[in-house]
Structure 1
């Protein structure tokens, strides 16, 4: 940003901080006082609630996403008036503009300012968007995923060299419930929930969705996971990652593929089912090989710590006489183990949890529970404690999946398995664009600028979707059309404006080839 804009932002920031400060703020009661209001209609000015969409439109143009999608998704014989990318962007931008479902596209297409903001005369309505999703086959959806990943390669090329040290690929399934009774392909899981059970493959370092495949609700989590693991490995190898690690829970310990991945130089840390044979091995280990497991040091308490309140849940459980399980201690050990479908042995790290079972205030008994993790990481490179920590960090993927659900990407608004898979894929692009807007913030300049930009970059990547929406996207702006460009004149100041300006400046820079 230029010096004039930087000065304006600093002045607005000082003015807002002074207004909110206790020392300088105005004290009055009541504080919220409804005034006499009056409505007027602007003659020519147009304003949009989601001014942050300007940075997203610039991002889409900079990375060439339209061309990639149109080359992959050939479902139209004639582009009149929309092409395939128009439909995909229509679904994704609806979520970034504040919509939460397919029907909210109707609000976008009836908003003149929004149409001007995205540079459209008109956009498809919800029924047309649904019909577009129904045109796809599984093979065509896979081609669209590959096209998005080809664009992802361009974004990855803009990252620092340290970014390519390691790529941690994670897989998990999640339940997308639906109350529809006639949706083709729905199923019921073991919790008696009706819906779909998509497979989600993500990159742990950035929370990007590499692959998303819809399946019936009664399918196992690991179904087809090895195939998409292989595709993700190929993408990461193509990008130049120096180390690739696979992570997953016990459902994803595909023992028939471990030898192949190991020979290919791929590392893995996978949960393993606590079957009878493994449990017997763990129980028969010498007590000397078990080491106490400490989950990391606790943060230092603040100087003026608040008074800790009584645990109301614990008191309720005791008063009602419910059975309660309390973790008393944890320890870990390791041994070599060869699964039946493997031709060699691998490290098996086991965690033993010692649990006290009580009922009310009465102690009943103690029990031990075992958790197993299989890995081909050597003890010299990755100690057993780090293997456990890496396996536990896979739980962060649950946060990514929850964000996909929060933004409306993991939903089933259509009538069959494939069309709902298409909607999930297109809608998940909203989450991907949010991540890319942070990843394209370049960490360069003097030390102070590097520190500020690195903080801004991490802040955007780690930000929850609705925080991103309210901080960066939902900033009211006047939309001014000129012959060569769209001008978004921001109409208010809040802390997210600084971040939006940084994002827009950086995505406008030419990409490194």
Structure 2
């Protein structure tokens, strides 16, 4: 049975922002450039790609002022175009999410101790906790077969988890440790829907 095509719904959010005169940022244009850059402590030069974003700050229908912001990308990739460098970095790294996780998730950007060196050690240790999460996800196998696509989706899901969600799903599991004969038995005392992924990794690491 043929149906009528749906009409594009009205952009209610944009209309409300204009009517209530909320302050908004509107991207007008972008400019991209690149140059060679050598940090003071480095012997070799790197490729620095810079984006200039021309932004207009508005309130309702009135433009308040123009704002210019710069974003820098440093790389040793020489073959890609400048546009490809930016798209790859934004698509792969998710810098804002990473900064948020390092700040609020593992608290790597806090300075709770009294010296610069001890704060550096604290930051390294907490950042390693974040790296363990990434290693955990990348270690999940993708065996060939009918479930390969499903396993790949689960792997990407774990890789994109926030650190707190990862801890609740795979780390903070109530467990009973039993010593029987010549071995230790770890008995999980609760269930969650992610244990199937957990046991897949356990089997892989035991091989």
Above 0.5 in TM-score?
A: yes
Q: For residues 339 and 458 of structure 1, do their structure 2 counterparts lie closer, same or farther at Cα, with a shift above 3 Å needed? A: closer
- Secondary structure at the counterpart of residue 441 of structure 1: coil
How many residue pairs are counted as aligned between the two chains?
196
Q: For residues 392 and 468 of structure 1, do their structure 2 counterparts lie closer, same or farther at Cα, with a shift above 3 Å needed? A: closer
Pick from 383, 398, 410 the counterpart of residue 81 of structure 2.
Answer: 383
Q: For residues 464 and 339 of structure 1, do their structure 2 counterparts lie closer, same or farther at Cα, with a shift above 3 Å needed? A: closer
Q: For residues 507 and 383 of structure 1, do their structure 2 counterparts lie closer, same or farther at Cα, with a shift above 3 Å needed? A: same
Q: 1:330-349 deviations in whole A, cap 9, x for unaligned?
A: 3x4657x56699xxx99776
Deviation at 1:316, TM superposition (A): 8.0
The 2-side partners of 1:318 and 1:357 are apart by 12
- Greater RCO (CA < 8 Å, at least 6 residues apart): 1
- 1:487 paired with 2:182, answer no
Q: For residues 391 and 316 of structure 1, do their structure 2 counterparts lie closer, same or farther at Cα, with a shift above 3 Å needed? A: farther
The 2-side partners of 1:394 and 1:480 are apart by 43
Deviation at 1:504, TM superposition (A): 1.2
Q: For residues 420 and 312 of structure 1, do their structure 2 counterparts lie closer, same or farther at Cα, with a shift above 3 Å needed? A: farther
Pick from 152, 174, 179 the counterpart of residue 454 of structure 1.
Answer: 152
2:26 aligns to what? Answer: 326
Deviation at 1:439, TM superposition (A): 2.3
Pick from 87, 94, 109 the counterpart of residue 396 of structure 1.
Answer: 94
Deviation at 1:480, TM superposition (A): 1.9
Q: 1:197-234 deviations in whole A, cap 9, x for unaligned?
A: xxxxxxxxxxxxxxxxxxxxxxxxxxxxxxxxxxxxxx
Q: For residues 339 and 317 of structure 1, do their structure 2 counterparts lie closer, same or farther at Cα, with a shift above 3 Å needed? A: farther
Unaligned runs of 5+ in 2: 1-5, 40-44
Q: For residues 419 and 489 of structure 1, do their structure 2 counterparts lie closer, same or farther at Cα, with a shift above 3 Å needed? A: same
Deviation at 1:424, TM superposition (A): 2.9
Q: Counterparts of 1:301-450 in structure 2 under 5 Å? A: 309-311=12-14, 314-315=17-18, 318=21, 325-330=25-30, 332=31, 351=51, 353-356=53-56, 358=58, 361-363=61-63, 377-378=77-78, 381-393=79-91, 396-405=94-103, 406-444=105-143, 446-450=144-148
1:475 aligns to what? Answer: 173
Deviation at 1:468, TM superposition (A): 0.9
2:108/2:122 contact within 8 Å kept: yes
Q: 1:445-485 deviations in whole A, cap 9, x for unaligned?
A: x3224333333332222211111122222333333222433
- Secondary structure at the counterpart of residue 173 of structure 2: coil
The 2-side partners of 1:365 and 1:420 are apart by 40
Deviation at 1:496, TM superposition (A): 1.2
- Secondary structure at the counterpart of residue 413 of structure 1: coil
1:325/1:357 contact within 8 Å kept: yes
1:441/1:507 contact within 8 Å kept: no
Unaligned runs of 5+ in 1: 1-302
The 2-side partners of 1:484 and 1:363 are apart by 75
Q: 1:19-51 deviations in whole A, cap 9, x for unaligned?
A: xxxxxxxxxxxxxxxxxxxxxxxxxxxxxxxxx
- Secondary structure at the counterpart of residue 102 of structure 2: helix
2:42 aligns to what? Answer: none
Instruction: Looking at secondary structure, tell me which structure has more strand per residue.
Output: 2
Q: For residues 305 and 374 of structure 1, do their structure 2 counterparts lie closer, same or farther at Cα, with a shift above 3 Å needed? A: same
Tell me the TM-score normalized by structure 1: 0.31
Q: For residues 470 and 309 of structure 1, do their structure 2 counterparts lie closer, same or farther at Cα, with a shift above 3 Å needed? A: farther
Tell me the TM-score normalized by structure 2: 0.67
2:106/2:163 contact within 8 Å kept: yes
Please identify, of 351-360 and 422-431, the stretch whose mean Cα deviation from structure 2 is larger: 351-360
- Secondary structure at the counterpart of residue 412 of structure 1: coil
